[in-house]
Amino acid sequence: MLEVAGVCCAYDMGPVLNGVDLAVAEGEIVALLGRNGMGKTSLVRCILGLRPPAVTAGTISYRGRTMTALDSHTIARCGLGLVPQGRRVFGSLTVSENLSVTARGQSGRSDAWTSRRIFELFPRLAERRRHLARNLSGGEQQMLAIGRALMTNPSLLVMDEASEGLAPSVLIELRDQLHGLRGGELSVLLVEQNARLAASLADRLCVLGGDGTIVWSGSPASFDADDAHVHDHLGVGTVPPR
């Protein structure tokens, strides 16, 4: 579905990514791990066509179509949805309005995302449907950011640091709810710093190293067994139990 091949990118101050190779298959959840400052969000911006940074080499393709030079709105219409780092919900709109403003109809699809289906996935949002988004807790805003992206009915959902700033108890609740995305046609690229959260959700893990390349890739089981890579490239943090 998504193929990132040899991608390099740079800001004015210099290069960030130096030949990243990454792929996401139909219905697969892939987690991209790495410490802060390794270039994870830069790769997200490259995939979604957000500038800066500038892609200086390599290609990004989606379902066989080259996306590298396309505008972000064109890429979004191809079926990519983004849950941005920092949530960025529309604070002056209610929960229901946040969902309806991004709704993209999918006539004839029995599995299309609707407000009703979002409220089934995140019952707490249903309870707060008439509340302004700025008055929600951090965890509720993250649920809303995910729901808002799903309302575009993407075939690939890109989630950038979904666990950022959330309490451990909220992380466990969010993890359990995100399990509801598994097993369907939706593919997910989960960009995370929280290794254990990612390992509990993903089919495959990739680690972005300080040299701007993918330094490790494998299954959650092999990731758990490879302590050297965990310590060398990610460090140790507090994570919710699997």
In the prediction, which pLDDT does 241 show? 43
In the prediction, which pLDDT does 237 show? 45
Its pTM stands at: 0.90
CATH numbers and ranges of domains, the chain:
1-79+155-242 (3.40.50.300), 90-153 (no CATH)
In the prediction, which pLDDT does 240 show? 42
In the prediction, which pLDDT does 210 show? 87
Q: State in Å, rounded, how far the first CA of the chain is from the last one.
A: 28
In the prediction, which pLDDT does 126 show? 97
Kindly give the pairing relationship between strand 2-11 and strand 54-62. Answer: antiparallel
- Residues (pLDDT < 50) of the chain are 237-242
In the prediction, which pLDDT does 162 show? 87
Structure tokens belonging to residue 63: 């379902």
Q: CA-to-CA distance for 156 and 142, rounded, in angstroms? A: 18
Per-residue pLDDT tens for 81-95? 999 998 899 999 999
In the prediction, which pLDDT does 58 show? 97
In the prediction, which pLDDT does 229 show? 60
Q: CA-to-CA distance for 211 and 214, rounded, in angstroms? A: 9
Q: CA-to-CA distance for 44 and 40, rounded, in angstroms? A: 6
In the prediction, which pLDDT does 106 show? 59
Q: CA-to-CA distance for 107 and 238, rounded, in angstroms? A: 43
In the prediction, which pLDDT does 178 show? 86
In the prediction, which pLDDT does 239 show? 42
What string of DSSP letters covers 51-108? SSSEEEEEEEEETTEE-TTS-HHHHHHTTEEEE-TT----TTSBHHHHHHHT----TT
In the prediction, which pLDDT does 184 show? 75
